[in-house]
Amino acid sequence: ASTESQKDRLVTEEEWLRKWETGNIGFHKEQGHPLFQQYLDVLLNGRSGLRVFFPLCGKAVEMKWLADMGHSVVGVEVSEQALKEFFVEHNLPYCEEPVPEISGAKMLQSISGNITLYCCSIYDLSSSIVGKFDGVWDRGALVAVNPCDRQRYVSLMITLMEKNSSYLLVTVSYDPNKHKGPPFYVPESEIKSLFG
């Protein structure tokens, strides 16, 4: 299947915000993603106290699971509503503060300090702001970024990873001529060329 039919597709930040506002969030999994449980050992690799990054995190329940296991979780999402819903739905008290390095951005952090969620564009983040990570759970990010932004996204992700980090990536396989995305179709060959 050719991804040619999707290469010029653009989804704006406003469209993503509207999805959250209208509850059009079929991509959110209330029970968590089954592949997370299946491959959790690959991500953790017997290690404890990891820093794990959730790009375009929404209100992913896996963030709470990892925090409860003693790991530190950092996520980024443009929808403040999604982030606040995450804390409310898990009865987690949190504080909110601006991010001085990013105009208009907010950081929402659990009072316990092990879950930190940034409300901004992922492209505004850098390792100088969020540090580096031992693991990444990319359940719907690479397939959600606009095809023209994939290289920029992957380049950023690589700069956020520690040397021995694990990157769990979920993609979707389908005929891109029959669905305009998102989620976008990202063939394995492209994943390999993007990440090296």
pLDDT in tens, 71-122: 999 999 999 999 999 999 999 999 999 999 999 999 999 999 999 999 999 9
**Does 146 count as an annotated binding residue?**
no
Domain edges within the chain? 11-25+33-195
In the 3-class helix/strand/coil scheme, how is 61-98 assigned residue by residue?
A: CHHHHHHHCCCEEEEEECCHHHHHHHHHHCCCCEEEEE
**Does 25 count as an annotated binding residue?**
yes
**Does 24 count as an annotated binding residue?**
yes
Question: Residue 1: its pLDDT value, please?
Answer: 55
**Does 53 count as an annotated binding residue?**
no
Whole-prediction pTM value? 0.95
pLDDT by residue for the chain (196 residues), tens only, comes to: 567 888 888 898 999 999 999 998 888 888 999 999 999 999 999 999 999 999 999 999 999 999 999 999 999 999 999 999 999 999 999 999 999 999 999 999 999 999 999 999 999 999 999 999 999 999 999 999 999 999 999 999 999 999 999 999 999 989 988 888 899 999 999 999 999 8
Query: Which strand ranges, in their side-by-side order, compose the sheet holding 51-54?
Result: 94-98, 106-110, 115-119, 72-77, 51-54, 133-138, 161-169
Label residue 76 exposed, middle or buried (CB < 10 Å: 0-12, 13-18, 19+).
Answer: buried
**Does 19 count as an annotated binding residue?**
yes
**Does 22 count as an annotated binding residue?**
yes
Question: Residue 147: its pLDDT value, please?
Answer: 95
> Domain 11-25+33-195 is classified in which CATH homologous superfamily?
Vaccinia Virus protein VP39 (3.40.50.150)
Question: Residue 59: its pLDDT value, please?
Answer: 97
